[in-house]
Chains A and B, each alone.
Chain A
Amino acid sequence: MDGYRLVDEALGRVLYIDLRRKTYWVRSRPELFLKFLGGVGVATQLLKEELSPDADPLSPDNVVVLAIGVLTGVYPTASKVVAMFRSPLTGNLGESHAGGRAPVAMRMAGFGAIVIKGASETPIYLSIHDGVVEFKDASALWGVRSSLTIGKVLREREPWPGMRSIMRIGRAGERMVRYASVILETYRHFGRLGLGAVWGSKKLKAVVVGGKRTIPVADVSTYRRFYKELFDEITKSSVMQKYHDLGTPVNVLPLNKIGGLPTRNLTSNSFEGAEEISGEAFAEYSLARRVACAHCPVACIHIAVIRERYPHEKYFYTTRYIGYDYEPIYALGSMLGIKDREGLLRLIEEVDVVGLDAMSTGVALAWTTEAFKKGMLSESDTLLKPEWGDWRTYINMVKHIVNQPNDFYRILASGVEKASKVYGGSEFALTYGGNEMPGYHTGPGAHIGFLIGLRHSHLDNAGYSTDQKYIGKEYPSPQSLIEELVEEEVWRQILSSLVVCFFSRGVYKPSAVSKALEPLGIRLSEEELRKLGMEIYREKLKLKIRLGYRLEELKPPKRVFETPSPFGIIGEEYFNEALQHYREKVLQLLST
């Protein structure tokens, strides 16, 4: 990278925070951002430097890295921030992406990455603005019932309204439920893999970051011209229109129709209540407002209204708002057999109030319900009688997961894999590498994708989308399926390093990315970008292996082979062949 420099020097600044000593320092690391562009690429390197492979995820030794990229604050839909840490849920590499205002706020505060180390003895929150980090006491905020209240309180106390992010944990994070989330701007999350529990273990209640500044570019006129091109394509493309109109819940009905909507712990592939909880129904009966992440003109965030009458007060109502998306609708809706839309919204709200990952929580409740019905769990374990569709009971169970009144809930708070090891029922424990299943039973691609994706997420390689592409056509061989999934995941390392929202992946094609980087003084051909994607993929894989990832342990839950997918019953033989090919591929990748 000789001859190159980072045009915006501030992006190269990495802020290190030591929660134990209550100190911070800044290091200039432009070479990291020039080479890896930001996000996942940079965070992987920082974690490699800072995280000891034997660090317990809930000990002060765990390290949290937040990173943005060269396009943040520069182009539309570069609207995500990446968090990397050791996951308390899987014990392995944790990676979670969030939108909201955080990415732009971080860039405006003048940092490309934030590294949080150590643990505080008493609850604190961090306020990062105007080049300083303030360590503020959060003892009074600790234990507050609702994560939404924390947002309201800090909103009044902290600077840079409109240009800041308020990231905070709820009580689930405080109580270290291993799939607790971090909530930002009320309706966005670092959902997956338990970042909230890591913050809780560090007694870190919230991080507020904000500011306002200019980002220099190398060639202003080319920049402005290309910005306009991208903006027009993003606001006019049909894919983005879909996210704008109904949002991600647009997927409910199509997935149900093809028989790919996991229902009642995947005992069924379609749900008789799909119409009631479809994107169309939510839009018609519940939608209150659509909002956007900072610097994203798509506005896919859909907020519903809950209007409830007080039982003893005539003409006295409470009106509350809650965000909804496809994944919470799947995990807390079809997966639990809930078709009562209002009830589903109340359950989603409770999950947000306590600060849990919606997907893991839904799968945990679904597994519990099936285990209870099969007699593996008794009422002395569950304290309640879980029943498909009974959202009131599920709300109380969510409270129990947080409060952990007995052994069963203490164990369930460690995740479904752990719970099934203790109580049995691992054949219907829907987890992948320890992470609970996303909402797609579309075929082999989805499940193999969850398993081999480096964060076991549906967004790693979009196997669900590969599946849907082949409906009515000849399905690829196990080998070519693996090749396709890995190729997609390799390219996504570039998008998650930049850090561009995956919803706009159709716009940020290799040619467009190459063009977008040019006015920033970064010259990378399409070919070089793909090579870099592979390097980041390999680096992440190596880090994952260093943290204990065992390829030979990759195993899908049996249930996957019992419930028909849109391609019929998924063959175990096909699955095993694909996994074998993946293992060989990994060995080959690591040796080159």
Chain B
Amino acid sequence: MSVAAEVRLKRLVVVDQDLCVGCMSCMFACSRRYVDAGLGYTAIYVRSAGGVEKGFSVIVCRACKNPSCAKVCPTDALVLRRGGGVILNPNLCIGCGNCRAACPFGAVQWNIYINKPVICAHCGYCVDFCPFGVLALEEVDS
């Protein structure tokens, strides 16, 4: 296996969402990774589980081997990624929103500026901005 392939075969995982304090630093990191500040481009979604006293739901792409989102894409704009999940080909995407509706975890976020999905690249940039160990980058079997 080449070094490049090893780097690719990782996925973002939620280690323990009970550790999450809801600071949204991961969401800001994700958005910042693509563009400027704010939350417009985040692929991660953290929300309270019905009031903050109940903790938070940390919703990230699960890097499915057999993803629902790709199956319902009418233009094949979502291509399977090695190691799980998908890669978006924005040229083919028509912004129909089927992928967002199909993901049972609600892990497909939406880019309102270009009307296309925000797809997690499993790059792990967010992991460095979670001081509580909620997120990690995990090796996946090929």
Contact = CB atoms under 8 A, between A and B. Distances in A.
Interface of A: 73-74, 76, 104, 107-108, 151-152, 155, 161-163, 185-187, 212-217, 220, 223-224, 227, 231, 235, 288-299, 303, 321
Interface stretch (B32-40, B72-80, B84-92): B32-40
Contact of A107 (B23, B24, B38): B38
A213 B45 CA distance: 14
Given A288-B53, A321-B53, A215 B38 contact: yes
Given A213-B39, A292-B21, 15 more contacts: A73-B37, A74-B37, A108-B38, A108-B39, A186-B53, A213-B112, A214-B40, A214-B113, A215-B37, A216-B36, A231-B25, A289-B53, A289-B55, A297-B21, A297-B129
A151 B113 contact: no
B52 interface: yes
Contacts, number: 99
A61 to B, nearest CB: 36
A231 B129 contact: yes
17 contacts: A73-B39, A107-B38, A108-B38, A155-B50, A185-B52, A187-B52, A212-B39, A214-B35, A214-B39, A231-B25, A235-B131, A291-B22, A294-B23, A297-B23, A297-B25, A298-B23, A299-B132
A212 B111 CA distance: 9
Summarize B's interface: helix, strand, loop or mixed: loop
| Category for how many chain B residues contact A | 20 to 34
B31 A295 contact: no
Highest count of chain A CB atoms <10 Å: which of B23, B35, B48: B23
A213 B38 contact: yes
Interface of B: 21-25, 28, 31-32, 35-41, 45-48, 50-53, 55, 112-113, 129, 131-132
A404 to B, nearest CB: 30
Contact of B23 (A74, A215, A295): A295
A293 B25 CA distance: 10
Nearest to B47: A162
B23 A299 contact: yes
Contacts of B51: 151-152, 155, 186
A235 B131 CA distance: 7
B78 to A, nearest CB: 22
A289 B55 CA distance: 8
Nearest to A300: B21
